[in-house]
């Protein structure tokens, strides 16, 4: 017996999802569905599974008969949560499933930046031998600033301390020194003081009203000369023009970003990602087989709990 219809709007481990949901649900798998097609696709749908790309605003939620929203990730800034609550729509995100994958991405790109791997790769592909120009730095002993010491921030801090021998400092108004356990990380109270101590800054703050444009020109001014920033959280945490100015002046030596002002990427990001010292990826922090399988299993379980399997 079919218990309901589920719309899946983005690429995910559909085999696992189908396997877990068995014959009880009709799954409409529409990876990459356009925003303007969404409302039509939501007709007769009981549950929707989305990624941050898709916006579920008040108008759409009001007209659709959705009972459950499963977020294949952590961030819920693409959903009108207040209205969903008012309408009794159950919204569940998956805060823990991608922690290791996102932390590993972060550590990977720290190494890539410290050793100029992208430039070295491009130069050699161009049949150049620029060995003498490619002096990097070790990570051991350098200071990593972790902005946002939640699940991913702590997973990054642990690996940077234990695995790489970096000095780790943290900034998070809601995490105290006593909350840190199992690795070395000195929590710093002021954002400005924190920014001034780090050679590398890794950003793991959710996008909420309070954190939009958290980093502007004033904050960039407080950073170390030649700082490298990794943003695997949300683009909008940075004031775009200030970030571009910081990158053009060389104050910021490099910016690695997995997240963009417009996703899928468009004109809003053209200038930023066109800069030579920006390295970018298309929101792949959680795109590992392990994280995607785990997400699909958990989401299927929640759908069954919410909509039943009889």
Of the ranges 70-78, 179-187, 238-246, 268-276, which one interacts with ligand NAD (CB under 6 A)? 70-78
In whole angstroms, the minimum distance from the beta carbon of 106 to ligand NAD comes to 9
d(C-alpha 285, C-alpha 265), whole Å: 16
Q: Do the Cβ atoms of 53 and 264 come closer than 8 Å?
A: yes
Is 149 one of the binding residues for ligand NAD (CB under 6 A)? Answer: yes
Residues in region 207-236 near ligand NAD by CB under 6 A = 207, 210-211, 214, 232-234
Of 129 and 174, nearer to ligand NAD (C-beta) is: 174
Q: Do the Cβ atoms of 156 and 205 come closer than 8 Å?
A: no
Considering the candidates 184, 263, 290, 297, report the single residue annotated as catalytic.
263
In Å, how far are 7, 65, 97 from 44, measured between CA atoms? 10, 7, 29
Site string for ligand NAD, 8-47 (x = CB under 6 A): ----------------------------------------
In Å, how far are 75, 144, 163, 180, 201 from 166, measured between CA atoms? 28, 7, 8, 16, 12
What is the arrangement of strands in the sheet containing 227-231, beginning at the earlier edge strand?
186-187, 167-171, 143-147, 200-203, 227-231, 252-257, 278-280
Site string for ligand NAD, 170-189 (x = CB under 6 A): -xxxxx--------------
234 is annotated as an active-site residue: yes
SS3 145: strand
In whole angstroms, the minimum distance from the beta carbon of 234 to ligand NAD comes to 5
Of the ranges 62-70, 130-138, 215-223, 278-286, which one interacts with ligand NAD (CB under 6 A)? 278-286
**What is the 3-state secondary structure of 274-301?**
HCCCEEECCCCCCCCHHHHHHHHHHHHH
Q: Which residues bind ligand NAD (CB under 6 A)?
A: 73-75, 95, 98, 102, 147-153, 171-175, 204-207, 210-211, 214, 232-234, 258-259, 283, 285-286
Active site residues: 234, 263, 283
């Amino acid at each position: 017996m079919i218990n309901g219809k589920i719309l899946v709007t983005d690429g995910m481990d559909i085999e696992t999802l189908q396997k877990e949901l068995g014959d009880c649900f009709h799954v409409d798998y529409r990876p990459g569905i356009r925003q303007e097609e969404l409302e039509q696709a939501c007709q007769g749908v009981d549950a929707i599974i989305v990624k941050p790309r898709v916006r579920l605003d008040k108008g759409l939620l009001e007209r659709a008969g959705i009972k459950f929203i499963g977020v294949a990730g952590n961030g819920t800034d693409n959903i009108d949560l207040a209205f969903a609550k008012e309408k009794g729509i159950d919204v569940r995100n998956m805060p823990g499933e991608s922690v290791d994958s996102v932390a590993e991405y972060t550590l990977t790109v720290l190494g890539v930046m410290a050793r100029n791997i992208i430039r070295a790769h491009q130069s050699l592909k161009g049949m150049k031998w620029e060995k003498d120009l490619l002096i990097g730095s070790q990570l051991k002993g350098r200071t990593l600033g972790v902005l946002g010491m939640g699940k991913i921030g702590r997973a990054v801090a642990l690996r940077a301390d234990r695995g790489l021998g970096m000095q780790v400092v943290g900034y998070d108004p809601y995490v105290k020194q006593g909350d840190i356990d199992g690795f070395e990380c000195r929590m710093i109270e002021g954002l400005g003081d924190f920014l001034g101590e780090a050679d590398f800054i890794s950003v793991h703050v959710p996008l909420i009203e309070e954190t939009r444009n958290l980093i502007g020109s004033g904050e960039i001014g407080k950073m170390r000369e030649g700082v490298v920033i990794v943003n695997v959280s949300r683009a909008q945490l940075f004031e775009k023009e200030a970030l571009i100015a910081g990158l053009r002046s060389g104050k910021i030596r490099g910016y690695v970003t997995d997240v963009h002002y417009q996703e899928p990427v468009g004109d809003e990001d053209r200038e930023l990602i066109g800069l030579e010292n920006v390295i970018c990826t298309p929101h792949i922090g959680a795109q590992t087989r392990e994280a995607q399988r785990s997400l699909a299993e958990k989401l299927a379980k929640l759908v069954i709990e919410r909509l039943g399997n009889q």
